[in-house]
Amino acid sequence: MFYKFSFFLIFFLCTCVQPMAHAQTRVPSQKSAPAGNSKVEALLKKMTLQEKIGQLTLYTTDWESTGPTIRDGYKNDIRSGACGALFNSHTVPFTRELQRIAIEETRLKIPLLFGYDVIHGYKTIFPIPLGEAASWDLTAIEKSARVAAKEASSAGLHWTFAPMVDVARDPRWGRVMEGAGEDTYLGCRIAEARVRGIQGKGIGNTDAVLACVKHYAAYGAAIGGRDYNTVDMSERFLREYYLPPYKAAIDAGARTVMASFNDYDGVPATGNKFLLDQILRKEWKFKGFVVSDYTGIAEMVNHGVVANDKEAGELALQAGVDMDMQSAIYQRFTAQSLREGKISLQQIDDAVRRILSLKFELGLFDDPYKFSDQARYDATILSAENRAAARDVAKRSIVLLQNKGNVLPLSKNTKIALIGPLAENKSELIGNWCGAGSGSDCVSVREGLQLAGYNQVAFAKACEIADHDESGFKAALEVAQHADVLVVVLGERADMSGEAASRSNIKLPGVQENLLKALKSSGKPIVVILMNGRPLDLSEIVNDADAILEAWWLGTETGNALADVISGAYNPSGKLPMSFPKSVGQIPVYYNYKSTGRPYDPNSKWTSKYIDEQNNPLFPFGFGLSYTTFEYGEIQCDNPVFKKGTPVQLRVNVRNTGKYDGEEVVQLYIRDVTASVTRPVRELKAFKKIKIPQGGNETISFSLTDADFSFYKKNMQFGSEAGKFEIYIGGSALASRKLSIEMKP
């Protein structure tokens, strides 16, 4: 969502005055099936047309140095029933006062719905979602969402614009930080976990908020990785790779959906009836409501599919968008469109019905202030329990990419030169989309090392994140001369990822690569800690660093989590949810590509490849090292030849052959060797995260069902086809253990 308020304030001042007068003429409600909650139906009959339109209208509040604020015009809209929901409205006193206006100063006393972008924490900030996805730990991810929901709900919020479940294969796109990466299966499982965490034991509980699945649909496939750009793909590709995580989230109980900015098949998602009505409501049976993204309805004019705002509102409502975020188009034009017969009263009533139903389910009509609880807020926000959870999730999100000579872990008596623009920083640690979080609550890397008992730490900043001043290199080299190991903390600024933060060059910004090369001349072992919101081009870094820890943006407990890993108190277990390219020219690079008629052969010119680069990424999907090593046995199968529809039972023995206890993410991939349409060379179909003690072993079992072998066949029917399959099990998408099986008709 886009919150450049000054731009849009100018936009609205230029294009609209105050919303239309709020006439009190009663409009009879038309019946529609299903009839819905009796209380909703009774209320609907009492509402004027303008009050109904008000329920379809979502405005923003603002934030100044003194705290939350609301524009006077929006206060008047609340009083007149012309606004049914607000976003960015949080903190107990602020939400209570706004709710008071809605309850005490309006005719029908319909409570407001308060929403906010609680993406990876409210005040206690967890790793960015891409970082959490690197944990491959569904319990930890659900825990993170659970804490965020508890804190957010205590501040008066009812609704979060999360989870983002967009599959993303292009690291240039800044919003990869908000999702689960490149894989559909992993994305589905994480979407389910996040919805469970956000909505808790049920809507209406005061420690839960409404989840909002976004951005529907295929927003992560923006061409060129450029935010807000168009999307072009076949329906087969859409249904097979991009739609499943949205459906998984809805099946897990998510009650709201946000339409995306992009188009699909030439029609903006905000006005796309195929997406919003045919698939979402008819095929998936979604019963909740759909909200536009920020001014998404108005932006259909720029898309060129409507001539003006009025037509945009008609297209959106006809397609199935129930709530208009910020553009005020429903407020300004819906009554006129109804008079002209461009939309129907039933369409309006259906949208209002869906919104009111959730307000009733939340319990807001019984107690409009139930979520605004100062005592609960004080007991919940940044509690010791929440911070412990943030530390646990953060350490599980760290990925060990390289560890030459087993430089890591570091003993407590090691003399450390802590160097780099992010080594002592706090303000960037919470990353983008950081809710109400504050860098002042964060534990820096330097603090984390000190708290862990590293008493010989010398610091030099050396350079800023993105400028070109190398004058600090000299001080860094001097500090390095007296150290045993250099711990160099590099990365992006938080605002270099997230919305409207696409990058064409995904190398480390500024002179950070130059710093690493200068430090290499010291001859000391170098441990690089990376803080970033996307996969980076690390082609130079791998040559200059002995060890590399991908730490993303870890949030409030960054320093403590990193110290746990650096010291070996926690053995890193993260695995990449996105491939890291060797160069930007490979992008998009992802593991589940399809084989061509001339598959890659390094010994033949006339095959699908580059002449100046390899096809494989620098670090593949699913990759991540440990301080220990794991050895995989042969894959065993009870029924290598099986009938269609019969579950396939597989198992593999994994042995810890190293010197530390450790966790491994055992990943299972399949390949459909021959099918009616081309299939990927590998597809993730199952994974299990297990802990194996030093010298121990464990047999891991998997059961594949017919659904795991199914796809959209040549006739676009979803199902499996008899034939041969290859099974791969291992520690990344390049797993080498292989077994051939065969499905009989």
pLDDT of 532-556, one tens digit each? 999 999 999 999 999 999 999 999 9
pLDDT band at 599 (very low <50, low <70, confident <90, very high): very high
Judged by phi (left if over 0) then psi (alpha if -120 to 50, else beta), residue 498 lies in left
Given this model, what pLDDT does residue 186 score? Answer: 98
pLDDT band at residue 11 under the 50/70/90 scheme: very low
Among the residue ranges 27-31, 381-385, 427-431, the one predicted with the least confidence is 27-31
pLDDT bucket at 142, cuts 50 / 70 / 90: very high
Lowest mean pLDDT, pick from 68-72, 409-413, 470-474, 569-573: 68-72
Alpha-helix runs per DSSP H in 583-714: none
Give the residue numbers marked as catalytic.
293
**Residues 288-314, mean pLDDT to the nearest whole number:** 98
What are the tens digits of pLDDT across the range 191-201? 999 999 999 99
Whether the upstream peptide bond of residue 602 has omega within 30° of 0, thus cis, is no
Is pLDDT at 2 greater than 60 in this prediction?
Answer: no
Sequence-ordered list of residues with C-beta below 8 angstroms from that of 283, at least 6 positions apart, any chain? none
Of 62-66, 277-281, 404-408, 449-453, the one with minimum mean pLDDT is: 62-66
Compute the distance between CA of residue 537 and CA of residue 617 in angstroms, rounded to an integer.
10
pLDDT at 12: 35
Q: With a cut of 60, say whether residue 7 has pLDDT above it.
A: no
Residue 335: pLDDT band with limits 50, 70, 90 = very high
Q: What is the pLDDT of residue 361?
A: 97
The whole-number average pLDDT for the span 302-315 is: 98
* CA–CA separation, 434 and 178 (whole Å): 11
Contact indicator for 209, 363 with CB cutoff of 8 Å: no
Distance of CA 722 to CAs 97, 200, 319, 703, 714, Å? 63, 41, 39, 18, 14
Q: What pTM did the predictor assign?
A: 0.95
Domain ranges of the chain: 393-586, 630-744
The sign of the torsion formed by the CA atoms of 736, 565, 501, 7 equals positive
- Do 2 and 294 meet the contact criterion of CB atoms below 8 Å apart? yes
**Given this model, what pLDDT does residue 736 score?**
87
How many helices (H) and strands (E) in the chain? 22, 29
Task: Classify 630-744 by CATH class.
Answer: mainly beta
Tell me the two tokens of residue 65.
């140095």
Burial call 5-26: b when 16+ CB within 10 Å, e when fewer: eeebeeebeeebeebbebeeee
| Amino acid in the structure at residue 149 | A
Domains 393-586 and 630-744 share a fold: no
**Which CATH number applies to 393-586: 2.60.40.10, 3.40.50.720, 3.40.47.10, 3.40.50.1700?**
3.40.50.1700
Residue 735: pLDDT band (50, 70, 90) is confident
C-alpha 145/C-alpha 195 separation (Å) is: 8
Each residue's pLDDT tens digit, 656-707: 999 999 999 999 999 999 999 999 999 999 999 999 999 999 999 999 999 9
The pLDDT, as a whole number, for residue 518 is 98
Q: Residues 469-481: what's their mean pLDDT?
A: 98
- 722 pLDDT band, cuts 50/70/90, is very high
CA distances from 342 to 143, 282, 299, 311, 526 (A): 46, 22, 20, 9, 66
Positive or negative, the CA dihedral 466, 468, 473, 474 is negative
C-alpha radius of gyration, the chain, whole number: 27
